[in-house]
Amino acid sequence: MRPGELVIVGAHYDSVGNPGANDNGSGTAAIMEAAQVLGARAFEATLRIIAFDNEEGGLVGSAAYVDAHPNDSVRCMLNVDTIAQDGGDHKLSIDSSNHLAMENQVAAAMGRYGQGIVTVVRQTGDMSDHLSFESGGFTACEVYNNDWWDHGDPYIHGAGDSVDTPGYINYAFATKVTRGVVGFLAEQAVLVAAP
Protein backbone atom coordinates (compact mmCIF):
# COMPACT_ATOMS: atom_id res chain seq x y z
CA MET A 1 0.00 0.00 0.00
CA ARG A 2 1.12 3.55 -0.64
CA PRO A 3 -1.70 5.75 0.68
CA GLY A 4 0.51 8.85 0.61
CA GLU A 5 0.56 8.70 -3.17
CA LEU A 6 -2.34 10.51 -4.83
CA VAL A 7 -4.13 9.82 -8.07
CA ILE A 8 -6.23 12.91 -8.75
CA VAL A 9 -9.15 13.33 -11.12
CA GLY A 10 -10.75 16.74 -11.50
CA ALA A 11 -13.43 18.61 -13.38
CA HIS A 12 -14.55 22.23 -13.18
CA TYR A 13 -18.18 22.84 -12.31
CA ASP A 14 -18.50 26.51 -13.23
CA SER A 15 -19.74 27.63 -16.64
CA VAL A 16 -19.97 30.80 -18.68
CA GLY A 17 -23.43 32.32 -18.53
CA ASN A 18 -25.25 29.17 -19.58
CA PRO A 19 -26.34 25.80 -18.23
CA GLY A 20 -22.91 24.34 -19.01
CA ALA A 21 -24.22 20.94 -19.98
CA ASN A 22 -21.12 19.99 -21.94
CA ASP A 23 -18.67 22.54 -20.48
CA ASN A 24 -18.51 21.21 -17.92
CA GLY A 25 -21.54 19.40 -16.58
CA SER A 26 -20.31 16.42 -18.59
CA GLY A 27 -16.95 16.24 -16.85
CA THR A 28 -18.50 16.91 -13.46
CA ALA A 29 -20.92 14.02 -14.00
CA ALA A 30 -17.99 11.81 -15.00
CA ILE A 31 -16.06 12.40 -11.78
CA MET A 32 -19.23 11.94 -9.69
CA GLU A 33 -19.74 8.61 -11.41
CA ALA A 34 -16.10 7.74 -10.74
CA ALA A 35 -16.69 8.47 -7.06
CA GLN A 36 -19.79 6.30 -7.10
CA VAL A 37 -18.07 3.35 -8.78
CA LEU A 38 -14.65 3.53 -7.14
CA GLY A 39 -15.50 4.96 -3.72
CA ALA A 40 -16.43 1.62 -2.22
CA ARG A 41 -13.27 -0.08 -3.39
CA ALA A 42 -9.76 -0.27 -1.95
CA PHE A 43 -6.65 0.91 -3.78
CA GLU A 44 -2.94 0.89 -3.08
CA ALA A 45 -2.77 4.63 -3.67
CA THR A 46 -5.28 7.29 -2.62
CA LEU A 47 -7.83 8.50 -5.15
CA ARG A 48 -8.71 12.16 -4.80
CA ILE A 49 -11.73 13.38 -6.74
CA ILE A 50 -12.03 17.16 -7.01
CA ALA A 51 -14.64 19.50 -8.49
CA PHE A 52 -12.95 22.85 -9.17
CA ASP A 53 -14.67 26.22 -9.22
CA ASN A 54 -13.86 29.16 -11.50
CA GLU A 55 -11.87 27.43 -14.21
CA GLU A 56 -13.39 29.82 -16.70
CA GLY A 57 -12.10 32.82 -14.75
CA GLY A 58 -8.50 31.68 -15.28
CA LEU A 59 -8.01 28.27 -13.62
CA VAL A 60 -8.61 29.95 -10.27
CA GLY A 61 -9.84 26.95 -8.26
CA SER A 62 -7.22 24.51 -9.46
CA ALA A 63 -4.42 27.05 -9.01
CA ALA A 64 -5.58 27.65 -5.42
CA TYR A 65 -5.60 23.91 -4.81
CA VAL A 66 -2.06 23.46 -6.14
CA ASP A 67 -0.85 26.45 -4.11
CA ALA A 68 -2.31 24.86 -0.98
CA HIS A 69 -0.80 21.41 -1.67
CA PRO A 70 2.70 22.05 -3.05
CA ASN A 71 4.26 19.02 -1.44
CA ASP A 72 1.67 16.38 -2.27
CA SER A 73 2.99 13.16 -3.76
CA VAL A 74 0.91 13.10 -6.94
CA ARG A 75 1.29 10.14 -9.27
CA CYS A 76 -0.84 11.93 -11.86
CA MET A 77 -3.79 14.28 -12.28
CA LEU A 78 -6.42 13.73 -14.97
CA ASN A 79 -8.64 16.67 -15.91
CA VAL A 80 -12.04 15.89 -17.48
CA ASP A 81 -13.41 18.92 -19.30
CA THR A 82 -16.17 18.82 -21.94
CA ILE A 83 -16.74 15.24 -23.06
CA ALA A 84 -20.24 15.11 -24.52
CA GLN A 85 -19.92 16.27 -28.14
CA ASP A 86 -19.45 13.63 -30.82
CA GLY A 87 -19.95 14.20 -34.51
CA GLY A 88 -20.01 10.46 -35.06
CA ASP A 89 -16.33 9.55 -35.17
CA HIS A 90 -16.09 8.88 -31.42
CA LYS A 91 -12.87 10.86 -31.10
CA LEU A 92 -11.46 12.03 -27.79
CA SER A 93 -8.55 14.44 -27.46
CA ILE A 94 -5.93 13.79 -24.81
CA ASP A 95 -3.83 16.87 -24.24
CA SER A 96 -1.08 18.22 -22.02
CA SER A 97 1.86 20.57 -22.20
CA ASN A 98 4.56 17.96 -21.80
CA HIS A 99 3.30 14.73 -20.24
CA LEU A 100 3.18 12.42 -23.21
CA ALA A 101 3.79 9.24 -21.22
CA MET A 102 0.69 9.86 -19.12
CA GLU A 103 -1.30 10.75 -22.22
CA ASN A 104 -0.36 7.41 -23.74
CA GLN A 105 -1.47 5.62 -20.56
CA VAL A 106 -4.83 7.39 -20.77
CA ALA A 107 -5.11 6.42 -24.43
CA ALA A 108 -4.38 2.79 -23.57
CA ALA A 109 -7.07 2.80 -20.87
CA MET A 110 -9.56 4.34 -23.30
CA GLY A 111 -8.73 1.52 -25.68
CA ARG A 112 -9.40 -1.09 -23.01
CA TYR A 113 -12.51 0.42 -21.40
CA GLY A 114 -13.84 3.06 -23.80
CA GLN A 115 -15.95 0.77 -25.98
CA GLY A 116 -14.85 2.23 -29.30
CA ILE A 117 -13.48 5.62 -28.28
CA VAL A 118 -10.82 6.79 -30.74
CA THR A 119 -8.09 8.80 -29.05
CA VAL A 120 -6.07 11.67 -30.49
CA VAL A 121 -2.98 12.46 -28.41
CA ARG A 122 -2.03 16.12 -28.55
CA GLN A 123 0.46 18.37 -26.83
CA THR A 124 -1.10 21.77 -27.34
CA GLY A 125 -1.51 22.25 -23.61
CA ASP A 126 -5.05 23.55 -24.15
CA MET A 127 -6.38 25.77 -21.36
CA SER A 128 -7.90 24.07 -18.37
CA ASP A 129 -7.20 22.92 -14.83
CA HIS A 130 -4.50 20.36 -15.68
CA LEU A 131 -2.26 23.34 -16.53
CA SER A 132 -2.31 24.40 -12.88
CA PHE A 133 -0.92 21.00 -11.95
CA GLU A 134 1.64 20.97 -14.75
CA SER A 135 2.77 24.44 -13.69
CA GLY A 136 3.13 23.14 -10.14
CA GLY A 137 5.49 20.43 -11.32
CA PHE A 138 2.98 17.59 -11.33
CA THR A 139 2.20 15.07 -14.06
CA ALA A 140 -1.17 15.94 -15.56
CA CYS A 141 -3.23 15.89 -18.72
CA GLU A 142 -6.75 16.50 -19.95
CA VAL A 143 -9.43 14.66 -21.91
CA TYR A 144 -12.04 16.54 -24.01
CA ASN A 145 -14.19 15.87 -27.03
CA ASN A 146 -12.12 16.05 -30.20
CA ASP A 147 -15.07 17.38 -32.21
CA TRP A 148 -14.00 20.81 -31.04
CA TRP A 149 -11.04 20.47 -33.41
CA ASP A 150 -12.73 18.78 -36.36
CA HIS A 151 -16.09 20.51 -36.53
CA GLY A 152 -16.02 23.34 -34.02
CA ASP A 153 -18.53 23.76 -31.22
CA PRO A 154 -21.26 26.32 -31.96
CA TYR A 155 -22.63 26.14 -28.43
CA ILE A 156 -19.62 26.31 -26.13
CA HIS A 157 -19.79 29.30 -23.78
CA GLY A 158 -23.19 30.13 -25.28
CA ALA A 159 -26.82 29.65 -24.35
CA GLY A 160 -26.96 26.51 -26.46
CA ASP A 161 -24.72 24.54 -24.09
CA SER A 162 -27.84 22.89 -22.74
CA VAL A 163 -29.40 19.46 -22.61
CA ASP A 164 -32.32 21.05 -24.48
CA THR A 165 -30.26 21.75 -27.62
CA PRO A 166 -31.28 19.07 -30.12
CA GLY A 167 -28.50 16.70 -31.05
CA TYR A 168 -25.81 18.36 -28.95
CA ILE A 169 -25.27 16.34 -25.80
CA ASN A 170 -24.23 12.82 -26.72
CA TYR A 171 -24.85 10.74 -23.61
CA ALA A 172 -23.50 7.52 -25.11
CA PHE A 173 -20.17 9.13 -25.98
CA ALA A 174 -19.83 10.78 -22.58
CA THR A 175 -20.62 7.46 -20.91
CA LYS A 176 -17.87 5.69 -22.86
CA VAL A 177 -15.36 8.39 -21.98
CA THR A 178 -16.41 8.05 -18.33
CA ARG A 179 -15.80 4.29 -18.51
CA GLY A 180 -12.31 4.99 -19.79
CA VAL A 181 -11.67 7.55 -17.06
CA VAL A 182 -12.79 5.12 -14.36
CA GLY A 183 -10.65 2.35 -15.85
CA PHE A 184 -7.62 4.63 -15.99
CA LEU A 185 -8.07 5.65 -12.35
CA ALA A 186 -8.43 2.03 -11.21
CA GLU A 187 -5.24 1.11 -13.07
CA GLN A 188 -3.24 4.03 -11.76
CA ALA A 189 -4.35 3.72 -8.13
CA VAL A 190 -4.16 -0.12 -8.38
CA LEU A 191 -7.29 -1.86 -7.23
CA VAL A 192 -6.51 -4.25 -4.36
CA ALA A 193 -9.92 -5.52 -3.24
CA ALA A 194 -13.50 -5.59 -4.38
CA PRO A 195 -16.24 -4.91 -1.81
126 binds Zn ion (CB under 5 A): no
23 binds Zn ion (CB under 5 A): yes
CB 144 to Zn ion: min, Å = 8
CA dihedral for 82, 144, 181, 176, sign (positive or negative)? positive
Length of the chain: 195
Calculate ∠ Cα 178-18-149, nearest 5°: 55
- In the list 22, 24, 96, 170, the residue contacting Zn ion (rule: CB under 5 A) is 24
Within residues 155-194, the interface with Zn ion by CB under 5 A covers none
The strand pairing partners of 102, in sequence order, are none
Q: Which window, 17-25, 46-54, 61-69, 114-122, contacts Zn ion (CB under 5 A)?
A: 17-25
86 binds Zn ion (CB under 5 A): no
Q: Amino acid identity, residue 24?
A: N
CB–CB of 117/83 below 8 Å? no
CB 156 to Zn ion: min, Å = 8
Q: Which is nearer to Zn ion, 23 or 86 (CB)?
A: 23
CB–CB of 117/110 below 8 Å? yes
- Residues near Zn ion, by CB under 5 A: 23-24, 81
